[in-house]
């Protein structure tokens, strides 16, 4: 056990400072986004955010007091608890932005899916540690994946596509550092990519290409897609048989590829059924915003315009035009980065990037010094989560990532995501502070 004093000496204050800086920026620009075209403040979001940020820092520091070694024992309870909360939300939750994702009364409420991310990280890390002896086994891959897929499925059925998506990089990060077979992870990534691409393809072809490529139609249009899947399945069987009899490596790889094809196409068909048109549209629009300049593309075009018009030094705090004239949508949440870049310019944007890079760096470097697989996995999970949120959100505002509606951590308005990531970072800081303790 560390005393408070030694703990305070070993905490990575650089990360805390970086986060505090980001939070300050966030509150500032949530304030800015609340100014309307007449120059009046019309929103008190910034006050709430300031309170959440301050309490968030306290939560983060408070969590460092927890003894990381005793944490694994509680991960099942945490994970189970939030799963139940998620199920409860799914039934009794409040609908916000088309997703039944909120729990609470009146203005007070939480988004359990945000906390589920952290719960999943710790429970997954616990399993990774417990199953270390299984090494690269398929069972380890499958069980660990199942731990992620269950909450992901629940969140998908809210439906909140963006939040659910975050669980994939979290899984990949944790599993990669935790030593799950990279071959399986690659398999997962390739199958997932194929599934997503082929889910979007029909709409994309219909909207963008004047003449859909005949070749591509084989992979999404009934009945051709069934023939292709049948062919993949046949190749898979033959390759498995071949591998059985001849034990040649290339049979293994043929079956590997065939299975990716079969499962990828199969899940794309399922995806086309499950995903709402507007969700697929967001992906299409990301590829070409001009497809729908006034619908989903509007957000991207306005955001790019706001960012681009900021120039090198920006228009100055509270001087943005696209934001204050309300051309920029969802300024305080999803598009907070756009208003920062408009008003602070390239300098401000790069500052945000650098702060995130710094946090990510400090987290990932701390992994090297950690002795337990659980602790390494937790840090890797939080790292993946921060990096993914950062990549998708700022990428989206610049038009190089699809619109998925996930917040920019530490900056975007919203208490749940802020507290959840503070919890996560707090765990990492606590783990890091005790790295030499053994």
Relative orientation angle of helices 415-433 and 112-130, to the nearest 10 degrees:
30
Of 24-43, binders to other proteins (CB under 8 A) are: 36-38
C-beta of 84 vs 132, nearer to other proteins: 132
Q: For other proteins, what does the binding mask look like between residues 304 and 333, x meaning CB under 8 A? A: xxxxxxxxx--------xx-xxxx------
Shortest distance in whole angstroms from residue 36 CB to other proteins:
8
Hey, which residues does 99 pair with through a beta bridge? 96
**How many binding residues for other proteins (CB under 8 A)?**
58
Inter-residue contact 396 to 334 (CB < 8 Å) = yes
Q: Which residues are within 8 A (CB) of 354 and not within 5 positions of it... i.e. 6 or more apart?
A: none
Residue 291 interacting with other proteins (CB under 8 A): no
The span from the CA of 143 to the CA of 53, in Å, is 36
CA 313-314-318 angle, to 5 degrees, is: 140
What is the distance, to the nearest Å, from the Cα of residue 34 to the centroid of all Cα atoms in its chain? 26
Q: Which residues are within 8 A (CB) of 350 and not within 5 positions of it... i.e. 6 or more apart?
A: none
Of 171-190, binders to other proteins (CB under 8 A) are: 173, 176-177
Residue 278 interacting with other proteins (CB under 8 A): no
Using the contact rule CB under 8 A, the part of the chain among 23-31, 58-66, 88-96, 288-296 near other proteins is 288-296
Shortest distance in whole angstroms from residue 360 CB to other proteins:
5
Q: Which residues are within 8 A (CB) of 222 and not within 5 positions of it... i.e. 6 or more apart?
A: none
The span from the CA of 217 to the CA of 429, in Å, is 51
Q: For other proteins, what does the binding mask look like between residues 38 and 67, x meaning CB under 8 A? A: x-----------------------------
Hey, which residues does 108 pair with through a beta bridge? 105
Shortest distance in whole angstroms from residue 92 CB to other proteins:
28
Relative orientation angle of helices 161-178 and 112-130, to the nearest 10 degrees:
20
Residue 336 interacting with other proteins (CB under 8 A): no
Of 338-397, binders to other proteins (CB under 8 A) are: 341, 345-346, 349-350, 353-354, 356-357, 360-361, 364-365, 367-373, 376, 380, 383, 387, 390-391, 394-395
> Which whole-number Å values give the CA distances from 226 to 153, 222, 265, 267, 278, in the listed order?
26, 7, 9, 12, 26
Residues of this chain that bind other proteins (CB under 8 A): 36-38, 129, 132, 173, 176-177, 293-295, 302, 304-312, 321-322, 324-327, 341, 345-346, 349-350, 353-354, 356-357, 360-361, 364-365, 367-373, 376, 380, 383, 387, 390-391, 394-395, 398, 400, 438
């Amino acid at each position: 056990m560390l005393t408070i004093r030694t703990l305070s000496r070993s905490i990575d204050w650089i990360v805390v400072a970086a986060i505090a800086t980001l939070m300050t920026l966030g509150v500032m620009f949530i304030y800015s986004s609340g100014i309307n075209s007449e120059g009046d403040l019309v929103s008190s979001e910034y006050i709430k955010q300031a309170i959440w940020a301050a309490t968030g820092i306290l939560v983060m520091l408070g969590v460092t007091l927890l003894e990381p070694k005793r944490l694994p024992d509680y991960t099942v309870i945490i994970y189970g608890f939030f799963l139940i909360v998620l199920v409860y939300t799914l039934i009794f939750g409040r609908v916000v932005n088309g997703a039944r994702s909120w729990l609470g009364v009146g203005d007070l409420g939480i988004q359990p899916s945000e906390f589920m991310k952290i719960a999943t990280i710790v429970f997954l890390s616990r399993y990774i540690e417990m199953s270390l002896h299984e090494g690269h086994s398929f069972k380890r891959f499958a069980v660990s994946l199942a731990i992620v897929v269950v909450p992901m499925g629940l969140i998908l059925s809210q439906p909140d596509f963006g939040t659910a998506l975050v669980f994939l990089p979290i899984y990949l990060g944790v599993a990669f550092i935790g030593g799950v077979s990279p071959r399986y992870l690659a398999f997962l990534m390739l199958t997932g990519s194929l599934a997503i691409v082929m889910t979007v393809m029909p709409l994309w072809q219909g909207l963008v290409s004047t003449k859909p490529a005949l070749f591509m139609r084989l992979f999404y249009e009934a009945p051709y897609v069934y023939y292709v899947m049948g062919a993949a399945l046949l190749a898979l069987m033959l390759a498995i048989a071949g591998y059985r009899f001849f034990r040649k490596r290339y049979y293994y790889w043929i079956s590997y590829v065939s299975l990716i094809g079969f499962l990828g196409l199969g899940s794309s068909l399922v995806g086309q059924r499950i995903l709402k048109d507007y969700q697929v549209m967001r992906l299409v629009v990301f590829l070409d915003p001009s497809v729908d300049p006034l619908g989903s593309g509007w957000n991207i075009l306005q955001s790019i315009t706001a960012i681009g018009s900021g120039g090198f030094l920006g228009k100055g705090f509270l001087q943005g035009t696209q934001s204050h004239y309300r051309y920029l949508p969802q300024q305080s949440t999803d598009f907070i980065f756009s208003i920062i870049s408009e008003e602070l310019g390239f300098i401000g944007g790069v500052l945000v990037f650098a702060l995130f890079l710094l946090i990510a760096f400090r987290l990932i470097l701390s992994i090297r010094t950690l002795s337990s697989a659980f602790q390494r996995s937790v840090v890797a999970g939080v790292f993946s989560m921060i990096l993914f949120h950062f990549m998708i959100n700022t990428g989206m505002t610049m038009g190089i990532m699809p619109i998925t509606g996930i917040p920019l951590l530490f900056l975007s308005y919203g208490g749940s995501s802020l507290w959840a990531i503070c919890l996560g970072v707090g765990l990492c800081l606590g783990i890091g502070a005790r790295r030499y303790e053994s």
